[in-house]
């Protein structure tokens, strides 16, 4: 997951090269998409059926890379969510700014009574 959003690219350039303060989020949330969110954050995020973004914590970075330190379990779907194709990381539970995004290695259909799980160390964020 090394695709930075336009928002984060600009924030990092401003912080590093223009001495403009950037406040990192207190909590980072994983979001599921049924289409590519793109760097602009314009994809189709899952809605309804008990869906909610889930908080995710990351390991200490090594050589410009980190990963989720525990499984991320989304709620059991109470309606069909569709085919999940992408994941994104946000700085807020709702709304907010997309930080990173990437396609899933394998898409997954989430129907009623299904649950989406991101295993520990599966969300790899690289800055290389």
- Whole-angstrom distance, CA of residue 60 vs CA of residue 84: 28
Domain residue limits at 51: 3-126
Q: How many domains does the chain have?
A: 1
Contact 113, 76 (CB under 8 A): yes
**Model's pTM, two decimal places?**
0.92
Consecutive H or E run containing 11: helix 6-17
What is the tens place of the pLDDT at every residue in 5-18?
A: 989 999 999 999 99
Q: What is the tens place of the pLDDT at every residue in 20-31?
A: 999 999 999 999
Beta pairing partners, 118: 72
* Helices and strands of the chain, counted as H and E runs: 1, 9
Compute and round to an integer the Cα radius of gyration of the chain. 15
């Amino acid at each position: 997951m090394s695709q930075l959003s336009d928002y984060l690219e600009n924030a990092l350039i401003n912080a590093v090269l223009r001495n403009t303060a950037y406040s990192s989020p207190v909590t980072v949330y994983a979001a599921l998409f049924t289409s590519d969110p793109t760097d602009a954050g314009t994809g189709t995020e899952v809605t309804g059926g008990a869906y909610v973004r889930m908080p995710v914590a990351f390991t200490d970075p090594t050589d410009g890379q980190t990963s989720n330190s525990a499984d991320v379990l989304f709620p059991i779907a109470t309606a069909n969510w569709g085919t999940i194709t992408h994941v994104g990381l946000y700085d807020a539970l709702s709304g907010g700014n997309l930080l990173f995004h990437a396609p899933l290695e394998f898409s997954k259909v989430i129907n009623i009574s299904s649950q989406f799980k991101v295993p520990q160390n599966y969300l790899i964020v690289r800055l290389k």
